[in-house]
Amino acid sequence: MGGATILGTCCILVTDLVIKNSKLVIPGIGIVEAGLAVEEGKISAITKDTNLPKADRTIDAKGNFVLPGVIDPHTHIGAMKTFGEEYVKETQGAANGGITTVGVYLRTDKSYDDVFSDSKKYANSVAMTDTIFHFGLVNDLHLDEMPKYLSKFGVASFKLYFAGVPEIGILANSDGFSFEALGRVAALGPPAIINIHAENGEIVDYIKSHISHERKDLAAWSDTSPNFTEGEIVTRASTYARVQNAPIYFVHLNTKEGVEAVVDAKAKHSKIWVETCPHYLTVSKDDDTDYKVGKLGKTLPPLREKESLAKLWWGLASGVVDTVGTDHLAMRKEQRQLEKDIWECFVAWQGMETMLPVLLFEGVHKKRLSIERVAEVSSANTAKAFGLYPKKGTIAVGSDADLVIVDMNKKVKVGPDILKGNADFTLYDGATFTGWPIMTILRGNVTMEEGKIVGKPGTGRYLPRGPAA
């Protein structure tokens, strides 16, 4: 409609989209009872309902909360099938859960030229969400090509593993390589950042090779990676980052020892972001929470005891933990080989479609988080960490119209039948959640409405960051 805007009480005749009768949850500001207008994919006005213009479509939010579209920074789309095969279904699943942007981890031992080209093609042609990519750093070639990845591709985030993942063929990075990578990312400058998998790989590998396989319980798997192995790496990696003056982002924090180490690390180094995942907030290695998962709970890193769950909620509420991501891997039950014991079945978990509902039900309804804090940890902080803010992560004039309307009173029984992605299981199967996303909007395009995918594949776009933006 020509890029028209609204300032104060001034109105235009017709805009693309209007949302009225809403409670806008604006990170850093709070809850604002107002409406908003959208023009050419961006928010063009936030004003009283009486000042809103006419629109091609008007959505009555019916007094519900409107949050910034959720950003899931941690997914592994393309890990189980080809990237193109998974991308349609998985981003539909993301939209079903209120997600408007996904972060996808890519990994190769060669140059990322071809991998990036193919992945970007699908992100721009079949996706239902916007996309950023993170590149795994495997060798010196990757270190040397980091400037190109940022300037030519717009990829600004790179992953290091202090522990390998032999189940999927990933080897740990050495301390020397990791220290050098932190120096390289510091030299690149913002928004470049290093993402870190924090486990002491040598200790984990040693325990795995010596632990008795006579135990078949879920906790036995967790015991192969003792809690302290995370806290120790948080301290070590933070020390390297401080020396190199590099920004770092710890993925999937899952232990109370990790939280305690982050408290100390943040006091010494200001460039630290921390993520946890919904399953580490809700499911215990002892299978003694409201969600009984059995071998479906074989995750990597593993689940922890209730004390860690409580400490992670505290960290999320207090600001020690900054973001939530899912570490989503789209695997079906038969692929997990659950007929085998805990040592032989495969690790996997799906989480995109239930990430926001977990935060609404287990967080807001159980008074662990405010709705304002949910908007921060599920969107604003993530956008800031990865160089997307204020284009993403907030509700403001000029920002992308990425929004999710949530009904805090809606009750939904969780199960595979409500999922839109490839996975046919959920860790919350059979549970009833109160609080659910009822509409997802990506750059002004409605992608999900009342549990139905209504957007078109290809609505999403790849988001370059840095000089290539």
Residue 469: is its pLDDT beyond 60?
Answer: yes
Q: What is the DSSP string of 241-305?
A: HHHHT--EEEEEE--HHHHHHHHHHHHH-S-EEEEE-HHHHH-BTTS-SS---GGGG--SSPPB-
Tokens of 68: 């910034």
Cα 448 from Cα 455, distance rounded (Å): 7
Cα 462 from Cα 469, distance rounded (Å): 10
Return phi, psi of residue 237, to 5°: -65, -35
How much of the chain exceeds pLDDT 90, in percent? 92
- The pLDDT score that the predictor gives to residue 309 is 98
For residue range 171-224, what is the model confidence (pLDDT) as tens digits?
Answer: 899 999 999 999 999 999 999 999 999 999 999 999 999 999 999 999 999 999
Q: What is the DSSP string of 60-97?
A: E-TT-EEEEPEEEEEE-TTSSS-HHHHHHHHHHHHHHT
The residues, ordered by sequence, that sit 6+ positions from 72 with a Cβ below 8 Å of its Cβ are: 94, 99, 101, 102, 103, 325, 326, 328, 352, 355
Cα 17 from Cα 401, distance rounded (Å): 10
The residues, ordered by sequence, that sit 6+ positions from 98 with a Cβ below 8 Å of its Cβ are: 67, 69, 70, 356, 404, 406, 437, 440, 448
CATH architecture of structural domain 68-385: Alpha-Beta Barrel (3.20)
- Per-residue pLDDT, averaged over 164-168, amounts to 76
- Which residue ranges make up each domain of the chain? 68-385
Bridge partners of 133, per DSSP, are 104
146, 160, 161, 233: which is closest to 192 by C-alpha? 146
For residue range 419-461, what is the model confidence (pLDDT) as tens digits?
Answer: 999 999 999 999 999 999 999 999 999 999 999 999 999 999 9
pTM: 0.96
> Using an 8 Å Cβ cutoff, are 325 and 251 in contact?
yes
